[in-house]
Chain A
């Protein structure tokens, strides 16, 4: 006999959403399962992982994660812009933005699953 509680307890909507998107919660679960950190350490580690990357970028360093991709910084000069609602001209101020370039390995992984015949590079 099947245990009815195992199927009943799964909130169908939440389950479908997590199948669509990877979030910090899933990453923490993986650290708990695979690395053997306790739940608290796992949650902290995921938070710190992203915080270290943010801090490096904030301090003007690019971040290179081999096999995944590079986060780089671009300084953009001021340029003319428009308020799309009023049509009024307003300058878009100079800014620094983060760009991500996927590694060749990540691109090939995506192509292998999605690209049909073009994966055998």
Chain B
């Protein structure tokens, strides 16, 4: 799903709004989130997850081509931790898929067994 897919889905769910509003709403939310992180402010969305910054201390790295030592300065990188509801929903689907595979063994695995013999 891309940003334009997301905008289209929101526009479809809110027929009372003009499509331009869904577009502007998505951009407003994403801009606010990006600006918060840039200011070092955390984002906490209950049931979805939290965003913050992780600190990376300065270190001596190497240019992989020349083997030369280079100083890599300290930096802050954005970090996301999925919330419980998101974690559970994503994982539940994996378990459903696994159960479905066990219930209906695929022909492909039978073919592979023959090829292996």
Report A's interface with B, CB cutoff 8 A.
19-24, 26-27, 30-31, 34-37, 41, 44-46, 48-50, 52-54, 56-69, 71, 73, 75, 94-100, 102, 105-107, 109-118
Contacts and interface: CB of A to CB of B under 8 A. Distances in A.
The 6 A-B pairs of least Cβ separation, nearest first, read: A100-B80, A96-B94, A102-B78, A109-B38, A56-B1, A22-B36
A46 B77 contact: no
Given A53-B6, A114-B53, A68 B75 contact: no
B37 A109 contact: yes
B5 to A, nearest CB: 8
A51 to B, nearest CB: 9
Contacts of B33: 22, 27, 68
Nearest to B72: A118
Contacts of A48: 10, 13-14
Nearest to B52: A21
A96 to B, nearest CB: 4
A53 B10 CA distance: 11
Contacts of B37: 106, 109-110
Nearest to A31: B25
24 contacts: A22-B36, A23-B43, A23-B45, A31-B29, A44-B14, A48-B14, A54-B47, A54-B85, A57-B86, A60-B93, A64-B2, A65-B2, A65-B3, A71-B80, A94-B94, A95-B94, A96-B90, A97-B87, A97-B91, A98-B80, A107-B78, A109-B35, A110-B37, A113-B40
A30 B44 CA distance: 16
Nearest to A46: B29
A67 B24 contact: no
